A and B are shown apart, each in its own frame.
Chain A
Amino acid sequence: DGGITQSPKYLFRKEGQNVTLSCEQNLNHDAMYWYRQDPGQGLRLIYYSQIVNDFQKGDIAEGYSVSREKKESFPLTVTSAQKNPTAFYLCASSMISGGIYNEQFFGPGTRLTVL
């Protein structure tokens, strides 16, 4: 089946620890994205990547880091510098044609809770 997978579905972390969220896609999409969603709020863009080995900060990148070593993988690390990391994290991917980003397809999400 084609799609986007995120793991784990639930993640618990102690304060001061870094944690990495996995995102994999087999849709052959060029662009990948990470969003954060808090209760009752819209999605906020953390980082995005248009091509392997390149990525850009979104609106709330502080305290997060990413890598894009392979086209199909875009892991997100939540560092101890992120002051309020408890949230629902969504990964998405899309094609880019003619310089235009197409429809984004979302993974099932990872719920991170800091204890």
Chain B
Amino acid sequence: KNQVEQSPQSLIILEGKNCTLQCNYTVSPFSNLRWYKQDTGRGPVSLTIMTFSENTKSNGRYTATLDADTKQSSLHITASQLSDSASYICVVSALAGKSTFGDGTTLTVKP
């Protein structure tokens, strides 16, 4: 069964600090992995998308890594800001097209 597990479930950090969110998956055959940011009460917005051949991708202060061998991905946020407070969702798609969503990590950035 295809699964996506994210950790931690929630995280609190101080403004300006860095943090790393984890995503482990068992989706096969693998097509792509996406990280989304979802503000409270809003729809998710894409941060990065990586295919099998890509092992790192950046979007401003967000950097995603992918290890297709161990089936792990991480999202690193540098110099956090209050506006980074949100839920971060890892989504892994199989070659057949079906996407499996993780439950998300809720990040709170405090001043």
Among residues of B, the one whose C-beta sits closest to the C-beta of A31 is: B97
Q: How many chain B residues touch the partner (CB < 8 A)?
A: 21
With contacts A100-B31, A100-B95, A109-B41 known, is A43 near B46, CB below 8 A? no
Instruction: Give the CA-CA distance A96 to B103 in the complex, in Å.
Output: 25
Residues of B within 8 A of A108 (CB): 42-43
Residues of B within 8 A of A6 (CB): 43
Closest-CB distance, A87 to chain B (whole angstroms): 13
Residues of A within 8 A of B102 (CB): 42
Contact across chains for A90 and B43 when beta carbons are under 8 A apart: yes
Contact across chains for A43 and B89 when beta carbons are under 8 A apart: yes
Is residue A106 within 8 Å, beta carbon to beta carbon, of the partner chain? Answer: yes
Residues of A within 8 A of B89 (CB): 42-43
Residues of B within 8 A of A42 (CB): 89, 101-104
Tell me which residues from 1 to 52 in chain B have a Cβ below 8 Å from any Cβ of chain A.
31, 34, 36, 41-46, 49
Is residue A12 within 8 Å, beta carbon to beta carbon, of the partner chain? Answer: no
Is residue A105 within 8 Å, beta carbon to beta carbon, of the partner chain? Answer: yes
Q: How many chain A residues touch the partner (CB < 8 A)?
A: 23
Residues of B within 8 A of A1 (CB): none
Is residue B93 within 8 Å, beta carbon to beta carbon, of the partner chain? Answer: yes
Is residue A41 within 8 Å, beta carbon to beta carbon, of the partner chain? Answer: yes
Q: Could you give, for residues 1-27 of chain A, a 1 whenever the CB lies within 8 Å of some chain B CB and a 0 otherwise?
A: 000101000000000000000000000
Which of A44, A45, A100 has the largest number of chain B CB atoms within 10 A?
Answer: A100
Contact across chains for A109 and B43 when beta carbons are under 8 A apart: yes
Residues of A within 8 A of B44 (CB): 43, 90, 106
Q: Which of B36, B43, B97 contacts A101 (CB 8 A)?
A: B97
With contacts A105-B46, A106-B44, A107-B43 known, is A99 near B97, CB below 8 A? yes
- Report which B residues bind A (CB closer than 8 A): 31, 34, 36, 41-46, 49, 89, 91, 93, 95, 97-99, 101-104
Q: A45-B99, A104-B91, A106-B43 are in contact. List 16 more A-B contacts (CB 8 A).
A: A4-B43, A41-B103, A42-B101, A42-B103, A43-B89, A43-B101, A90-B44, A101-B93, A103-B49, A104-B99, A105-B46, A106-B44, A106-B45, A108-B42, A108-B43, A109-B42
